[in-house]
Amino acid sequence: MSNTTNKSTPNPVLFLFFGFLAVGLLSGVYSSFFLQQSPQTAYLNAAGTYYEKGVSTAITFESWPERSPANIAAGEKHYQTYCAACHAANLTGGIGPNLVDNEWLHFAKPTEENIAIQIIKGVGPGQAKVAQGAVMPPKGGSPLSNTEIQKIVYFITSKNAAVIKTGN
pLDDT tens, residue by residue, 69-120: 999 999 999 999 999 998 999 999 888 888 998 888 877 888 888 899 889 8
The confidence band for 128, taking pLDDT boundaries of 50, 70 and 90, is low
CATH number of the domain that residue 84 is part of: 1.10.760.10
Query: Distance of CA 106 to CAs 27, 62, 64, 140, 141, Å?
Result: 33, 24, 22, 15, 18
| Structural domain span for residue 141 | 61-159
- Residues 34, 73, single domain; the answer is no
Beta bridge partners of 131: none
Residue 19 lies in a domain: yes
Tell whether pTM > 0.85: no
Residue 5 lies in a domain: no
CA distance 118 to 127: 12
Q: What is the DSSP string of 67-108?
A: --HHHHHHHHHHHHHHTHHHH-TTSS-SSSPPSSSS--SS-S
Q: Which is more confident, 56 or 63?
A: 63
Domain tally for the chain? 2
Residue 3 lies in a domain: no
Contact of 89 with 159, CB cutoff 8 Å: no
- Residues 40, 72, single domain; the answer is no
Q: Which of 112, 102, 106 is nearest to 134 (CA)?
A: 106
- Supply the DSSP symbol for 123: B
- Supply the DSSP symbol for 127: T
Amino acid letter at 27? Answer: S
110 burial level (CB within 10 Å; 0-12, 13-18, 19+):
middle
- Residues 41, 91, single domain; the answer is no
Q: At what angle do helices 146-159 and 112-121 cross, to 10 degrees?
A: 130
- φ, ψ of residue 68 to 5 degrees: the values are -140, 160
